[in-house]
Amino acid sequence: MKIQQPNINANLQIILDKQRQMKKEREEQEENSSNSSNSPNNEDIIMKDLIAENFVLLTKINSGAFGEIHLSFSIRDNIEVAIKQEFKAAQKTPQLRNESKIYSSLLQIPPLSPQDISGLKVIPQDPEQGIPKFYGYGEHLEFYYLIMEFLGPNLNELLTYCETKKKFTIGTVCLIAFQILNRIETLHKRHYIHRDIKPENFCIGTEDKSTTIYLVDFGLSKRYKNSKNHQHIPYREGRPLTGTARYVSINTHLGIEQSRRDDLESIGYLLIFFLKGSLPWQGLKDGNDKYTKIMEKKLQIPTEVLCYGLPDELVHYMNYVKSLRFEERPDYDYIRGLFVKLLGNCINLYGITKEFLKFDWMFDDPINEIWSKYVNRKVSMKTTLTVIKGNKIEEEEELNNNNLNDKNNSHEDEEKKKNKTEDRGIIDN
């Protein structure tokens, strides 16, 4: 089968083009405004609307119960950033404050002063791959804010870009698995667990970083180990459900304190969702007992049934992470190796070259036929065996019918011969 050379997905390209166009328009506006004088009143209004006397809010990117995320622009450093806003009246315990501390820890930077926030280029940081740059946290009018690197679409949005009926191919899921397991290992090494694994919390970068998957939203993250004495948090029960019910672990539903194993189990549900397009506990009716129904569904369905039709590596992954003890350190190399093996099987079976190992959203026409051959390999083998068995039964039935016909024909021939003999005797007489 001839495969066309992949091109960047048109939808993603539109986003990138819009970003460049907005930046160009702002540069033109700044150039025009520098040639004209503003009245004091206008300057007062502009300074009032600026965050940290540097950032202007542009387009709202997303919103939720926590607040809003805006595409923003640094007028001093001429770069785009994202600003998360958390309304003071909406949160008893500000999540952004906790998130800012985690960013500082992950990026190994000290707490930022207002002077640091107002001048981005002076902030020293050595960002981990797949962790957004962090530019500061503070208060402005009626909300708290957190300034971070501006990223591209999240994995849930990218899922809609693909012509795969809201599914990712097995190759893309392997590539996603490599990166998100690396991100979660980085987080765990810094003694934090995420506690809210879902497609919306993984974004790709912009422009030349569009193949890098970033882990975001650490508002619900928590230390699982003391950074000084490395003592693990104690095992506890009766804990409230924290995270997104669709993806949280069974132990989280049961009220058990979360640890590293729970992040990994959530990633397993995430990968299965990407491959199948849905999970069995989706679509349950809203109500007070909705979370209970989701938990019961997860408890009722064996891993082999949940992963039916998927490669065995998914079963091995889920069985392994579910077997981990509360304080046990996961073998990240082993679970990554499962997807290395899976991707290698795809390459060896169908001769896929490295130039075609790209995310589905980077293809105008994703090579679904090739990847789906591996996903449905066992099903196809069963079907083939069924067909062969069916043909064999038909052949046996046909042979039996032929033998029966031969016997009937032989019997008819004997009857005819006997009748002819009797006729001949009558004539002779």
Q: Do 282 and 185 belong together in one domain?
A: yes
CA distance 32 to 124: 33
Q: Is 289 a catalytic residue?
A: no
Q: Do 292 and 167 belong together in one domain?
A: yes
Q: Are 137 and 181 in contact (CB under 8 A)?
A: no
Q: Do 133 and 226 belong together in one domain?
A: no
CATH of the domain at 55: 3.30.200.20
Domain count within the chain: 3
pTM of this structure: 0.73
Region of residue 39 (phi > 0: left; psi between -120 and 50: alpha; otherwise: beta): beta
Q: Do 230 and 112 belong together in one domain?
A: no
Q: Do 100 and 236 belong together in one domain?
A: no
Q: Do 369 and 383 belong together in one domain?
A: no
Q: Do 140 and 250 belong together in one domain?
A: no
Q: Is 119 exposed, middle or buried (0-12, 13-18, 19+ CB in 10 A)?
A: middle
Q: Do 366 and 415 belong together in one domain?
A: no
Q: Do 119 and 220 belong together in one domain?
A: no
Per-residue pLDDT tens digits of the chain, which is 429 residues long? 433 433 444 545 555 565 566 667 666 766 665 554 443 343 433 444 678 778 888 888 888 767 889 989 888 888 889 999 998 877 667 788 889 889 888 887 665 554 455 544 434 445 568 999 988 888 888 889 999 999 999 999 888 877 656 899 888 999 999 999 999 999 999 999 999 999 999 999 988 888 899 999 998 999 999 988 999 999 999 999 999 999 999 999 999 999 999 999 999 999 999 999 999 999 887 666 889 999 999 999 999 999 999 999 999 999 999 999 999 999 999 999 999 999 888 777 766 666 567 888 886 444 344 334 333 433 333 333 334 334 444 444 455 555 555 555 555 555 554 444 433 333 333
Q: Are 62 and 117 in contact (CB under 8 A)?
A: no
Q: Which of 196, 217, 262, 263 is catalytic?
A: 196
| Domain final residue pick, 128, 149, 170 | 149
Q: What domain range is 77 assigned to?
A: 50-149
**Per-residue b/e over 289-324, b at no fewer than 16 CB within 10 Å?**
eeeeebbeebeeeebeebbeebbebbbbbbebbeeb
Query: Within a domain: residue 332?
Result: yes
**CA 32 distance to own-chain centroid:** 43
Q: Do 307 and 184 belong together in one domain?
A: yes
